[in-house]
A and B are shown apart, each in its own frame.
Chain A
């Protein structure tokens, strides 16, 4: 192998050598863990509905419960270990959102409570909320225009 490869050539070279099965096994793991987290969510919804909450409230409570456990397991350093195995299976569910809120805040603790924890808690939550709310405003505008006719 030549030593004077550019980064791009090297990446291409790696791509030809990396077996596709790696992606396949990553996907299988993401499918499994992501699916399990959703089943837990479904169990929680079922439980809350059984306790007399309406469908919408039960869904919100299930989300809040998952967020609680996502945050707690991040604090206990368990969630990052599952994430190492499951990749997107732990990022895409709402527990991954909780994880992304907690982990930068936790790391910034030494920088103080205001500009450390207070600011860094929004490192990933900030963009998610910004673009989510902006998209909802676009949707709202569409609904509003439709309602005019």
Chain B
């Protein structure tokens, strides 16, 4: 059941992105930034967590989920460290994802060659 919910919610979030691309000509880079920031603020309004509980990876795999994680990290760090948490929270919660993207991104760049565009 959770798999079906993940499919539908994840698919819908991607559809929102597609509508933005087709209707507003937002570039993919802007879509990525918009979705991450949107995820942060949706979680700040406590809207995103219920969606994560409902749809699991359907809400965490899209980049809004990355933003959700950033916001959750900020909340946790502030509750543990106070003011300092404002600075440490974001990177602490996103460390795994950012490091993985850089590490695998670098390895792939070293190993593979860019294919000529057709």
Using CB atoms and an 8 Å cutoff, list the residues of chain A in contact with chain B: 22-23, 26-27, 29-39, 41-45, 59-60, 62-64, 66-68, 71-72, 74-77, 87-89, 91-94, 96-98, 100-103, 105-107, 109, 117, 121, 123-125, 127-129, 131-133, 135-144, 147
Contacts and interface: CB of A to CB of B under 8 A. Distances in A.
Interface of B: 2-3, 6-23, 28-29, 31-33, 35-37, 40-41, 43-44, 55-58, 60-63, 65-67, 70-71, 73-75, 77-79, 82-83, 85-87, 89-91, 93-94, 96-98, 100-102, 104-115
A135 B89 CA distance: 11
Contact of B17 (A67, A88, A131): A88
A135 B11 CA distance: 25
Contact of B63 (A72, A93, A140): A93
Nearest to A72: B108
Nearest to B116: A77
A36 B7 contact: yes
Given A39-B7, A147-B79, 4 more contacts: A27-B22, A38-B58, A59-B60, A87-B18
Nearest to B37: A135
B43 A60 contact: no
